[in-house]
Structures are given as C-alpha cells and as structure tokens.
C-alpha cells in the first residue's frame, strides 16, 4: 500500500504549494497597490522639500516656480509660517479664504497631527519658518490619536509569522478533515486494483465518495472470476480428455504391438511379410511414445506434473543418457560424441532427475528422427553462471525460417488461435516446458557441426 502515503503527500504538497502561491500573489498585489497609491516621496517629504526651497528676497519670501507648478497641479495649497511670530510669511495663490494666516502653538500642533477645514495637512521645517501643505479633502487619512507600544512593534514580525503559521496549520487541518473520507475510500480501492491482476476476488463496500468506482471494480472482479472459472473448467476438461484418450489407446495399441511382434518372429512367413510386421511394431512403439509425450505435455502445461527436485550432477546425468542411446544403437547409424571438457566433472543443478533425462533424451531422439540416413550426435555440458546442456548433430539441420518458427510460432498444445501457423512436434515442446519449470530456458538454432543444435540453460545450484 505504498500508494496511499504517496497520495497523501501529493495532497499535502499541493495544499502547501497553493498556500505559498496564495501568499506570494497577495503580497505582490499589496505591494503593487501600495506603490500605485503613494505619491512622489510622500506628503511629508514634499512638505520638507517645499520648506527647504523657500528663499528670502528683498520683496519677501518666494517659492521656486517649478515647485509652485507641481503643487498647483495636485491642487495643493501652501502657507509658510514665521517661527517667531507664527504669522504667514508667504502663501500660495490657491490658498482658501478659510485658512488662517496667523496661528497659535496649539493650532500648529493640531494641524501637524490632523486637518485644516477637513484638508489633511503636512509640515516641513525651513530656515525661518514652518511650511504647511494642505492636500485636497479625502486624499489622505491621518491617524490623530492612536499610538502603539514599542514592544508590540518590535515583536510584530514574529507575531505575523506565528499567526501565519497558525493559519496554515488551520487550513491544512480543515483540508485534511474535509478529504479524510476520500482518503478512507481510496485505500480499499487501491487494494482492490492491486488484487485484480493477481486473480484474487474483490468485493468492496459500495459507499462513500468513490462508491461508483467501487461498484465497477466489483463488477470487473465478478467478470474476471467467471472467466477464470470457465478457463479452469475448459483446461481441466481438455487435460482429462487427453489423459482419458491416452489411457484408452494403450490397451488396443499393446495388442497391436503384441500380435505384430509375434508375426515378426514367424519363420515360415515371407521375409517381406515379416518386414511389414516389424514396421508395424516400430510405428506402434512410436505411437506409444507420442501418446506418452502428449500426456506429459498436457500435464506440464496445466501444472499437473509434480516436480521431485533433488541435487543432481548434470554432467553425470547427460553422460548416462548418451551411454543409454549408444547401447541401443546396434546398427551404429547414430554415433554419439561426448564433447564435455575433461576438467568439468561436476555441474550441480536442483531438478527433477526423470524429467531432465526425458528432456535430454528428447533432444537426441529429435536428431535421430530428422536424419533417417544417420548422423553424428554431439552432447556436451558447460558450466559458468548457468549450466548449459547442448545436443547438436551434423545432419540436415534446419533453415532460418524453420528455426524462427521453432523459436516463436505457438504450439498447438498451448494455442487455440492462428491454427494455420501453429507448429507440431511434442519433443521440443516438452523440453521447453521442462526447462521453464526449472527456471531455465531453451535456445534453438544451428549447431557448431553444421546441423541442428539445441541448448538447455538451467540455473546452477547455490
């Protein structure tokens, strides 16, 4: 269930990223909004610049024309108050009639903190007096009385961070709480999906946010289980049919072989008739072998053949099979050469001894069946990371097309489609099944002696 923590991490990361982006966008908007509504240097700065720009002349005090033009463009009035008399030494042309030209100390204090005639006022200190700038009504809002404790201002950054962290934690808790039902619903869904390809039945509770998905998973499981049951019935019927037919054929075939063997030994029959009886015996034996192969291939295909594994020396086993065939070859048409290196005397594999003997025997017999005029058969065992048992011959061999078909075309025992492209011959199929049941594989191709060659590759015993 590694996907559940991964899904939760994904949800949390998306949430954190959303909060981060939310904060960045809001801070950026706040900065943009603040900068957009601030004047050039601020009203206090403008007042100080105007105070410093005041100059004394023979006619009195005057403000540079550039500064006057700037103030008039923003509809700002100005008055310059003498430090000693608190009377106006200069004022702008747009000064309202309601603005006094003489002040008291308390009035100076009040206008510095607040307003004159609802116009926000800002002051700047000059050499001889105080510059007062009056801005249009509702252009600025001034705090007249509020004040804050210094410790509160000093700890403001830490307080903001704590509040921000608390808000993030609260949002996460709300988010996880709102999605807890989804997370509880996801776990059985993920578990059901994992079990489907493993062939296990799935039955989920059809409730919660993902109830519809659970319903469809249950339906899919029912269909797969039904198909699995039907396939098992079909495979069991086919395997039982093959086993039954094999059993029923053995009795009449034994009778045919027995009677043909008796006729073969009758000395008063013509030589031609006895040869025919001998041919009947040989073909009957071949039929018996094919029936045994068919039965074994069926059992191997449906995992009905139990494996009796034991520690085996593959070198000794392959040599024994080769010797058995040498002893049976009375006419000497199929000599067998042992090509295993002299230094290699042991190659340990963990396998079913009888099945491995059957696999090697099938390969030797295959060379005999496809070379009626005789050939030399070469048997060898090589050891390394794997145990490789090779059977080659110097016979007619096989074309590239035939080798490609043997390696890739489906066998009629394991395929019920493409009937025109299936391959026959149970010998190599059984060899492949035996190798795969032991965790190995089979390599089919040309041998090093010009003929056909097959290698059984098996893992060595640890």
CA–CA separation, 49 and 46 (whole Å): 5
In this structure, what is the dihedral angle of CA atoms 433, 435, 439, 444, given to the nearest 10 degrees?
-100
CA–CA separation, 298 and 143 (whole Å): 97
How confident is the model at residue 102, as a pLDDT?
Answer: 92
Q: List the beta strands (DSSP E) in 279-416.
A: 309-313, 336-338, 348-352, 377-383, 386-393
Q: Is 386 left (phi over 0), alpha (psi -120 to 50) or beta?
A: beta
* Helix or strand (DSSP H, E) at 348: strand 348-352
Tens-place pLDDT, residues 185-241: 777 777 787 788 777 888 888 776 677 878 888 888 888 888 877 877 776 666 666
CA–CA separation, 110 and 130 (whole Å): 14
Helix and strand numbers (H, E) in the chain are 12, 14
How confident is the model at residue 419, as a pLDDT?
Answer: 46
CA–CA separation, 329 and 335 (whole Å): 8
CA–CA separation, 456 and 132 (whole Å): 105
> How do strand 377-383 and strand 115-116 relate by DSSP bridges?
unpaired
CA–CA separation, 396 and 352 (whole Å): 32
How confident is the model at residue 96, as a pLDDT?
Answer: 92
CA–CA separation, 117 and 106 (whole Å): 16
CA–CA separation, 296 and 352 (whole Å): 14
Residues 340, 389 contacting (CB under 8 angstroms):
no
Tens-place pLDDT, residues 254-299: 787 787 778 878 877 788 887 888 888 777 777 776 776 766 666 6
How confident is the model at residue 131, as a pLDDT?
Answer: 93
Rg (CA), the chain: 51
Concatenate the DSSP letters of all residues of 28-65 into one string: HHHHHHHHHT--SS-HHHHHHHHHHH-EEETTEEE--H
CA–CA separation, 186 and 22 (whole Å): 28
CA–CA separation, 408 and 104 (whole Å): 110
CA–CA separation, 417 and 424 (whole Å): 14
CB atoms within 10 A of CB 430: 23
- Contacts for 428 with CB less than 8 Å, ≥ 6 apart: 362, 366, 406, 442, 444, 454
* Helix or strand (DSSP H, E) at 108: helix 105-113
Q: Could you say which residues of the chain have pLDDT below 70?
A: 1-8, 33-41, 144-148, 178-184, 208-209, 235-248, 289, 292, 294-306, 330, 409-425
Beta bridge partners of 390: 380, 455
Residues 182, 210 contacting (CB under 8 angstroms):
yes
CA–CA separation, 98 and 121 (whole Å): 14
Where b means 16+ CB within 10 Å and e means fewer, 57-82 reads: eeeebebeeebbeebeeeebbbbbbb
């Amino acid at each position: 269930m590694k996907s559940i923590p991964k899904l939760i991490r994904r949800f949390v990361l998306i949430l954190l990223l959303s909060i981060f982006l939310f904060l960045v966008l809001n801070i950026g908007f706040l900065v943009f909004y603040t900068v957009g509504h601030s004047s050039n240097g601020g009203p206090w700065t403008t007042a100080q610049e105007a105070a410093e720009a005041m100059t004394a002349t023979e006619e009195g005090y005057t403000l540079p024309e550039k500064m006057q033009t700037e103030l008039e463009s923003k509809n700002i009035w100005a008055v310059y108050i003498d430090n000693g008399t608190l009377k106006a030494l200069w004022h702008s042309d747009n000064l309202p009639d309601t603005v006094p030209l003489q002040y008291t100390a308390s009035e100076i204090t009040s206008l510095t903190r607040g307003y004159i005639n609802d116009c926000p006022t800002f002051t700047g200190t000059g050499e001889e007096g105080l510059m007062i700038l009056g801005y249009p009504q509702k252009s600025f809002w001034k705090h007249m009385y509020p004040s804050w404790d210094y410790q509160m201002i000093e700890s403001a950054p830490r307080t903001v961070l704590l509040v921000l962290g608390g808000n993030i934690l609260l949002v996460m808790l709300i988010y996880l709480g709102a999605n807890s039902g989804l997370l509880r619903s996801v776990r059985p869904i993920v578990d059901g999906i994992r079990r489907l390809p493993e062939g296990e039945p799935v039955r989920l509770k059809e409730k919660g946010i993902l109830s519809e998905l659970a319903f469809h998973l249950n339906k899919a499981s029912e269909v797969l289980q039904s198909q699995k049951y039907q396939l098992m019935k079909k495979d069991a019927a086919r395997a039982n049919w093959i086993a039954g037919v094999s059993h029923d054929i053995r009795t009449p075939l034994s009778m045919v072989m027995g009677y043909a063997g008796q006729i073969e030994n009758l000395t008063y029959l013509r030589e031609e008739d006895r040869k025919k009886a001998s041919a009947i015996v040989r073909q009957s034996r071949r039929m018996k072998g094919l029936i045994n192969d068919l039965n074994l291939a069926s059992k191997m295909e449906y995992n009905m053949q139990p494996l009796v594994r034991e520690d085996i020396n593959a070198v000794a086993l392959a040599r024994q099979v080769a010797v058995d065939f040498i002893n049976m070859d009375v006419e000497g048409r199929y000599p067998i050469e042992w090509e295993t290196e002299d230094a290699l005397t042991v190659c340990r594999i963990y396998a079913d001894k009888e099945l491995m003997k059957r696999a090697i025997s099938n390969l030797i017999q295959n060379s005999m069946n496809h070379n009626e005029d005789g050939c030399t058969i070469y048997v060898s065992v090589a050891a390394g990371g794997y145990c490789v048992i090779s059977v080659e011959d110097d016979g007619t061999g096989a074309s590239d097309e035939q080798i490609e078909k043997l390696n890739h075309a489906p066998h009629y025992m394991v395929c019920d489609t493409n009937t025109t492209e299936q391959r026959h011959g149970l010998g190599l199929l059984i060899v492949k099944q035996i190798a795969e049941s032991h965790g190995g594989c089979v390599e089919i191709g040309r041998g090093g002696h010009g003929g056909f060659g097959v290698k059984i590759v098996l893992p060595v015993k640890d």
